[in-house]
Structure 1
Amino acid sequence: MTSLPDRQNTVALVEQAQRDGARLARACDIVGVSVRTYQRWSTPQGTCADARPDARRPVPHNKLSEVERAVIITLCNQPHYRSRPPAYIVADQADEGCYIASESTFYRVLRDHDQNHHRGRDKAPEGRRAPTTHRADAPNQLWSWDVSWLPGPICGAWWYLYLIVDVFSRKIVGHEVYAAETGELASELVEKAHWREHLALRDKPLILHSDNGSPMKAATFLQKLYDLGITPSRSRPRVSNDNAYSEALFRTLKYRPGFPAKGFANLEQAREWVLGFVHWYNTEHRHSALNYVTPDQRHSGEATSILANRRATYEQARNAHPERWPGAIRNFGLPDAVDLNPEKASHC
């Protein structure tokens, strides 16, 4: 509800704008109220306060009486019901041929008497925080990484694939396959990728996003990030969508034709296969999210000229046969910036 001083200030601003020659609808739109709201606030007697807090509302005809509410409280506090939820109490009373009120009414009455609280040793439910949001408008500003398990030679044996992908270009900038999942190995991976991309002399900070796995939170790994000047970022617990770029890359890898779904015979075979996949993905794979240029071309900046040549080819074809092109040619642009977990608009 809008307080009386805020109402008076808003009405005064709109009236001043009208005296200066502004239209009513435009003035109301600028201050953020509708014309009808302004008319309701502005009366011949002056700006009126909100009457809803002091309004007298009729009592619902089906409201429980105080006696009936007291019966619910007394029933819920009986020894054999005091640790039971309303759903149990209502069902048990129904088995005895007695109906007092619905489950929601039980909850409402208990809440009014401050007797509805979280119980048990488990943690009370909490509201989920908003995801961490980042934006990259050039390569090597925002990386995403994760560890995935590759099947081994027998059931229950795994090799661990470490992958780092550049969110802006989708290029795999670092990868390793190890026999263990540790913070020390993750530190080696990040350091190799950092030097391979020649980031030692960069002024702009690099953000490395990941989930909440144990290697990502290891003290050794975090210290390495600080030494390299990399800012760590992590997803919300148990929300895989917050690290969607890495998850999508793992999906592409494991559904690639030729992936040995029955397992890699040894560590060397796994490393050899992943090396071939990375080469294909970076240099040959025409990525649908990049308008079908390769991640390497996007990373190096070649994508702009390649897409411009494609556009020229399409325009030449349309000029040669305009009757075959009822609409515009395909959009060959690429986004100027890429968002990781973009914020939703407030009106959505």
Structure 2
Amino acid sequence: MQNVTLRQASNHGVLRAKCYIWRENPQYPNQVHHRGRSRVQQKRPAPTSHKATAPNQVWSWDITYCSANVRGLYYYLYMIMDVFSRKIVGWEVHDRECGELAAQLLQRTVMREQCFKKPIILHSDNGAPMKSVTLKAKMEELCITGSHSRPRVSNDNPYSESLFRTMKYCPRWPSEGFKCLQAARDWVNGFVDWYNEKHCHSRIGFVTPSQRHRSQDEAILRNRQEVYALAKSKNPHRWSGEVRKWEYVKEVELNPDSPDIECERAA
């Protein structure tokens, strides 16, 4: 190494510093290029985008843990949600997770929604039950197209993840855990009833998922807009600007192609 002294004049005195210059030596590796045994970072492809303009076109599903009051014991909540209406169309709680239980839930959900042999897209992550042979065979039987998140990408299934967050941050969520499997099923049954029938969802114009699933939301929003306009005409001094626009959401995208469009939160 070669020692070099730099002197820089200033108003308050002289600043001295020492810097060391590394000579070019082949034994020192090039710091710009990748080195070591770690895997080189690769660019991930864009996620698959799906668009829904009506109920029962795109479904999102996932499995989440529900803690029991015994340490290390969990129950597994299988939940299917319609992306367009945000309605929970199918759910079950079991003591294990496997593709066979998921296939049974999917078949019961299709029969309940009366959408057999319709082109439905079922989106999920890359868990073992989601990619099981049993579930794939059932999807082919029901004419359902599968869609999966990118490997090692946690935000490609935002609707289900956001729904689980809404559920587990609910004030009634038993933080001490469920006493038994039936207790977990009873609690989830009450939550699903509240979410579908009473919860006014902010992303679909503050209507309930069931109202949107039954195609009642457009008339509700139109009537709400008329009520606001009438109220402003009677008392214009209460509004400093325009009244709120209750617009009908015509389409919902799952993982939109444009990076400028943010994925809508599900709950």
Shift of 1:119: 5.3
Q: Distance in 1 between matches of 2:57 and 2:246?
A: 24
1:1-348 correspondence runs (5 A): 71-72=25-26, 75-76=27-28, 86=29, 106-107=30-31, 120=37, 123-202=39-118, 205-344=119-258
Question: Unaligned stretches of 5+ in structure 1?
Answer: 1-67, 77-85, 87-105, 109-115
Deviation for aligned residue 1:190: 0.7
Q: Which residue of 2 aligns with 1:62?
A: none
- Residues 144 and 165 in structure 1, CA contact (< 8 A), matched pair in contact too: yes
- Name the TM-score, length of structure 2 as normaliser: 0.85
Matched residue of 2:258: which SS? coil
Question: How many positions carry a matched residue from both structures?
Answer: 239
> In 2, distance between residues paired with 1:294 and 1:137?
17
Structure-2 change in CA distance of 1:214 and 1:345 (3 Å): closer
Aligned mates of 1:331, 1:261 — CA distance in 2: 39
Offset of residue 149 of structure 1: 0.2
Note the residue ranges of structure 2 that are not aligned, 5 or more in a row: 1-22, 261-267
Pair 1:201–1:136, CA change in 2 (3 A): same
The residue matched to 2:105 in structure 1 has which SS?
A: helix
Any conservation in 1 of the 2:117–2:142 contact (CA below 8 Å)? Answer: no
Instruction: Judge conservation of contact 1:240–1:247 (CA < 8 Å) in 2.
Output: no
Q: Matched residues in 2 for 1:292 and 1:326: separation?
A: 23
Structure 1 or 2: larger strand share?
2
User: What SS does the corresponding residue of 1:305 show, helix, strand or coil?
Assistant: helix
Task: Give the equivalent residue in structure 2 for 1:42.
Answer: none
TM-score by length of 1: 0.65
Higher helix share: 1
Measure, in 1, the Cα distance between the counterparts of 2:248 and 2:79: 24
Shift of 1:227: 0.7
Secondary structure, aligned partner of 1:307: helix
Secondary structure of the equivalent of 1:213?
A: coil
Residue aligned with 1:140, SS = coil
Quote the Cα distance in structure 1 between the aligned partners of 2:189 and 2:130.
23
* 2:31 aligned counterpart, secondary structure: helix
Please tell me whether the aligned partners of residues 134 and 340 of structure 1 are also in contact (alpha carbons under 8 angstroms). yes
Offset of 1:126 from its aligned partner?
Answer: 2.0
Bigger Cα Rg: 1
For the 8 Å contact 1:207–1:231, the answer to whether it is kept is yes
1:262 alignment partner, SS class: coil
Within 1, Cα distance between the matches of 2:199 and 2:258? 31
Partners in 2 of 1:322 and 1:124 — Cα distance? Answer: 63
Shift of 1:171: 0.2
Q: Give the whole-Å Cα distance in 2 for the aligned partners of 1:315 and 1:125.
A: 55
Amino acid at match of 1:128: R
* Aligned CA distance change for structure 1 residues 213 and 312 (closer, same or farther; 3 Å): same
Q: Partners in 2 of 1:133 and 1:160 — Cα distance?
A: 28
Deviation (angstroms), 1:240: 1.8
Q: Deviations over 1:303-329 (max 9, x none)?
A: 111111111111111111123223211
Give 1:280 deviation, angstroms: 0.5
2:245 and 2:168 mapped to 1: Cα distance? 31
